[in-house]
Amino acid sequence: MSAGRRGTIEGEYAVSAAGSWRGADVSGDYRLVLAEDDVAIATLDGSQRVPLPLGTLAGVRYQGGELVLSFADGILVLTGEGRLAAVARDIVARATAPGELTLGLRALGSHRRGGGDELQRRYFEPLLSARRRLDRAGDPSAQLGALDARALLGGYHALAQRIAEGSAGEAASDRRALEAQIDDALAPLVASLDALDASARALRDAPPDSTISRWRDWAACARSVFAAADRCWPEVRALVTGWHPGPRPSLWRRMLGRAR
């Protein structure tokens, strides 16, 4: 057994297999192979090797000496040496690696879209902190804690208040008005965080046989959160940089071009 990328283990384990895979019955003695880039079962003589794509895995359970791999189109029950408990944890870690959850943050650091200033840093910091925590999270439970939707919702609400207090002048009415407009601009991000929170609850309640499929649902919601933050940023920036404290002409006067 050796250590692979991101702390995953590599090795081969003698197992007895029973179940089905993609409509075919599986029974007998095999080797469970954990390579750097995939997981597979192979016949003892090496004449046949069947990859088990992690993207098709619905759940993993280890109990009573049995490693159960659940797929949408089959289930494999593997029995063998005691190290299968560690193998189960490794397969879960592989299948739920955070990967590219944060690719949606395209605006961050983009000067073309108004990046590089203190306001932008403050706006993205809650999600950047979450991303750093995600990089250190080794399993789905830790990832849920790293990207906590309720905490992020509270953080962005507090951020809207702080930005309004620092940008809207002395009048309380101006601060409330700017805060309300920032909250409106953040509506897509709030909606995505609500969806993430619901998905996190479903993942916490999922039985082991469906944990990984529920994790994929959660991961899709996580990607949507980062993408929504990215979409909301230009409007938030425009509100703050274009804000003028004090009385403003009515909407109708602005529309009719009679504002002075």
Cα 25 to the chain's mean position, in Å?
A: 35
pLDDT bucket at 246, cuts 50 / 70 / 90? low
Pairing mode, strands 39-43 and 49-51: antiparallel
For residue 21, is pLDDT > 90?
no
The H-or-E segment that residue 49 falls in is strand 49-51
Pairing mode, strands 49-51 and 57-63: unpaired
> SS3 for 35?
coil
Q: Mean pLDDT over all residues of the chain?
A: 84
| Calpha distance 257→260 (Å, rounded) | 9
Tokens of 44: 């003892």
Which among 73, 84, 80 is positioned nearest to 17, based on CA atoms? 80
pLDDT recorded at residue 107 = 66
Can you give the pTM of this predicted structure?
Answer: 0.82
pLDDT bucket at 37, cuts 50 / 70 / 90? confident
Considering only 2-6, 94-98, 193-197, 221-225, which range has the smallest mean pLDDT? 2-6
pLDDT recorded at residue 23 = 83
For residue 258, is pLDDT > 70?
no
**Beta-carbon-side half-sphere exposure of residue 143 (alpha carbons within 13 Å):** 25
Mean pLDDT of 201-224: 95
pLDDT recorded at residue 200 = 97
Max mean pLDDT range (1-5, 129-133, 175-179, 224-228): 224-228
pLDDT recorded at residue 190 = 96
Residues 6 or more apart from 85 whose CB is under 8 A from it?
62
pLDDT 10s digits, 184-199:
999 999 999 999 999 9
DSSP string for 2-27 = EE-GGG-EEEEEEEEEEEEETTEEEE
| Calpha distance 76→36 (Å, rounded) | 21
For residue 70, is pLDDT > 90?
yes
Q: How many CB atoms lie within 10 A of CB 200?
A: 23
pLDDT bucket at 7, cuts 50 / 70 / 90? low
Mean pLDDT of 141-157: 94
Which among 3, 176, 29, 142 is positioned nearest to 86, based on CA atoms? 3
Mean pLDDT of 125-131: 91
